[in-house]
Structure formats: structure tokens, C-alpha cells
Homo-oligomer: A and B are copies of this chain.
């Protein structure tokens, strides 16, 4: 419990998480409409595209077009996802993205790595080393941050115990040390939604004990309906940074979930934070509008609740 501030940082992943999983072909202009709407909600960071191979994720083939067309608002950080040197080159070439998040990520589940990325842990590190080389060529240093995916469990590996997770965290630190980097920030991704509030509590308690100065952030999926309760448990322990998706967009195309639910929903989570006296800096009414826009763009209902149920402020105003 290393954090007493009432400020909670919410990073929007909806455009990237959401559009990569939607099976319909969404026009680039509509994707950009959503990103532009999100830019006006107070969000400090929005992940807007994924530079993966268009054959692997055809729905992200327009990544360059998206980045080129978005009306970027000063003060908002626009980021993208890249899994290898080629993807990073493409992202840098746009000249419009923040590439300051080149941290040290490992996967807690070897089985997931093999299925999701067809790679061994060492091959994945080698890929990251190549990315860091590319970045350095553009004068970009790796970040003092790391992350662990499949941090709480894996559909292919099963439970990720605390010892396994601690091994992964140690691995992150050693990997960073290769490049004379510290780990100030550490992200845990519940990629396949194995976390429960109890597991969040037991895990983070141990991690904070071992690494009292590290700032933890969470990336939570709602595949088993636990995202909000997990986020609550994490806030209670001092976590102050979360990735979320507008409307609850998202899922994981490789995670073998038939009915893969999306991420922790941005507007529902912001609602909870604000109602509990935390500051998010977000405009809930505008988030709700953006969530409704997201729904109209994907053409089906999205799991977020507040966009239909209404904020309490809207009732208090009556």
C-alpha cells in the first residue's frame, strides 16, 4: 500500500483493444470519430492503434491511416501497440505518436506465449532487444517500466501462483538491468481474466512488500465479470493507474474465449472512482456520449452499464 493520493489515472485502450477484436470492417473515419470524441473527455492517454501484421490482425491494417487522421489534442498522449521492430518502425514513422513507453514486458505464462505469439520467453526478449535498438536509432531510450501479461492465470497454463508472478517480476527487473534501466512502474495484465479480488489482494500485497517503491498499474479484462471488483480491491491497496476501454470494448483475439468480454469499462470505472471521492479528471457525460458513439460504430450493444443506466449526477440535476 504505497500510494495515498486520491488521483486515479485512467488510460484508454478502447480504440486499440476494441477495433482489433471486432469482426466487422469498420471504416477508418469512424474509428477516428471515436478517438476524436475520446480526446475531449479529459483522458490523458489514448491507445489508438496496433502495428501488427495486417495478415494477423486485418482489422488493424489501417493503423497508419488512423494515426494520420486523428485530430490530436495538445496534452493528450496518443500511443500504439507494437510487438516487434517492424511494428515499432511503422509507429515511429507516423511521427505523431508517443513512443516513450518502451518498457520491459514479460509473460507469466510460457504456454500463452507459445500460443499467442509463437515464441519462447528468450525469443520474445530478443525481439524486444531489437525494438530497443530501433528506438535508440531514433534517439528514444527504453522506459523505466515493465509489465507482466497473464499475471494472474492463463487458459492454457492454469493458475499463475504468487511465486511464478514474483519470478516474472524478477525477470522484468533483470531484463531492465541489461539496459541500465530501473523499474519505477510495473503493469500487471489479467489477459485472460483469472484474477479475483482475493487473488489481487494476496498478489499485490506480496509485490508491494518486495518492491515498496514501485508504482503498480493494472490492465483488467471482464471475461468473468470480476473487472470492477478487482479494480476496487486494487484501489484499496493503493493502485492508482488502470487501463480501461470505453463502453467495455475489447477482448483478446488469441485467448480462446468464445464470448470474450472486453476490458474494464472506462465510464463505469470513472463513475465508481468519482462517486467514491477519487479524482479522474474525466468528464463522465462526455465519456457516456463516447461510449454511445462506440456502440453505434461497432453496431452492437457493448457491456458498459452507465451509458444506459445514466450517471447519478444526471438524476441529481433534476
Question: What distance in Å separates the Cβ of A151 from its nearest Cβ neighbour in chain B?
Answer: 15
The 7 nearest A-B residue pairs measured at CB: A259-B308, A225-B305, A225-B268, A223-B309, A198-B276, A196-B275, A229-B232
Question: Number of residues in A with C-beta < 8 Å to the partner?
Answer: 44
Q: Report which of B155, B261, B311 forms a contact with A308, defined as CB distance below 8 A.
A: B261
Q: Which residues of B sit under 8 angstroms from A15, Cβ to Cβ?
A: none
Question: What distance in Å separates the Cβ of A8 from its nearest Cβ neighbour in chain B?
Answer: 13
Given known A-B contacts A226-B228, A229-B232, A231-B229, A196 and B257 have beta carbons under 8 A apart: no
A193, A226, A276 — most chain B CB neighbours (10 Å):
A226
A277 touches B308 (CB 8 A): no
Report how far A306 CA is from B259 CA in the complex, Å.
9
Report how far A307 CA is from B225 CA in the complex, Å.
10
B231 touches A271 (CB 8 A): no
Q: Which of A261-296 contact B (CB under 8 A)?
A: 261, 265, 268, 271-272, 275-277
Closest to A201 in B: B276
Q: Which residues of B sit under 8 angstroms from A226, Cβ to Cβ?
A: 228, 268, 271-272
Report how far A1 CA is from B271 CA in the complex, Å.
27
Could you list 16 A-B pairs, sorted by A, with CB under 8 Å?
A159-B312, A196-B272, A196-B275, A198-B276, A199-B275, A223-B305, A223-B309, A224-B305, A225-B265, A225-B306, A228-B229, A229-B272, A259-B307, A260-B309, A261-B305, A261-B309
Q: Report which of B158, B260, B261, B276 forms a contact with A197, defined as CB distance below 8 A.
A: B276
Q: Which of A107-152 contact B (CB under 8 A)?
A: none
